[in-house]
Amino acid sequence: MRCGVIQICRIPTVADTGYDLLAMGRLFKGLCLGTKAVLYVAGGFSWNCEKQYRSMPTHGIGRYKYLLPKDAPKKKKDKHQMKQIKAATNTEYGVLNILVSGYDMTQVELFSKYIHKLCNRFRICIEENYALPTKSTEVMVMPEQGTKMYLDAVLRTHERIVQISRLNATFCPIFMEIILKNQPEGVQLSIKEHTEADYHARFKARPELEGLLAQM
């Protein structure tokens, strides 16, 4: 009898056919591989040979993506907001900006790194370490004969700021003396308190965008 993909077969006994059980087992194995589900009945016993895989015995082995947690959706970066300026106390300064500027960018970078490492060595709290937009200065020259000026050179000023806080008032003179003794040639150094105007100076002005926003 055959119904769908399931076949039920009457197995002859050894006395009827003369075959041994090993040969019959090979026959059963071949039938199991040829059909999706085959049921054999012989003398009250039944064997269910059914495929437990789809196409290959190794189907699905090695998959690990379902074990990993799902990544959270990326959030849009918020606009950079100004931090609250720490006030000075009787024994400590507030937020100070150490400004390093010069025409040679290599010297400016090396000196700002030296100040950063020096602050870490003396355990001075560093708020931020950033660069200001490069400033360009055009040098115009007027010839001896004539009134028309021509461009002679363009000087680019590079600025780096190391922002520190909670500097001890008694240690400040020693700290300044160490920095001044290691100041390289051609590099200018200045220290002043951090203000809101210094924060806005970090960003380049965009007059075209501001004009469009004003028209909307």
Q: Provide the whole-model pTM.
A: 0.58
DSSP, collapsed to helix, strand or coil, labels residue 48 as strand
pLDDT in tens, 141-177: 988 888 888 888 999 999 999 999 999 999 999 999 9
| CA 179 from centroid of its chain's CA atoms | 34
Tell me the C-alpha distance between 56 and 48, whole Å: 19
Please state, as a whole number, how many other Cβ atoms lie within 10 Å of the Cβ of residue 175. Answer: 19
Tell me the C-alpha distance between 129 and 160, whole Å: 8
Query: Domains, the chain, ranges and CATH?
Result: 2-50 (no CATH), 95-203 (3.30.70.600)
Helix (H) or strand (E) holding 136: strand 125-141
Q: How confident is the model at residue 81 (pLDDT cuts 50, 70, 90)?
A: confident
Q: How confident is the model at residue 5 (pLDDT cuts 50, 70, 90)?
A: very low
DSSP designation for 62: T
Residues in CB range of 102: below 8 A, 6 or more apart? 108, 157, 158, 186, 187, 188
Please compute the mean of the pLDDT values over residues 128-141 and round it to a whole number: 90
* Residue 136 confidence (pLDDT): 92
Half-sphere exposure at residue 178, Cβ-oriented, CA atoms within 13 angstroms: 12
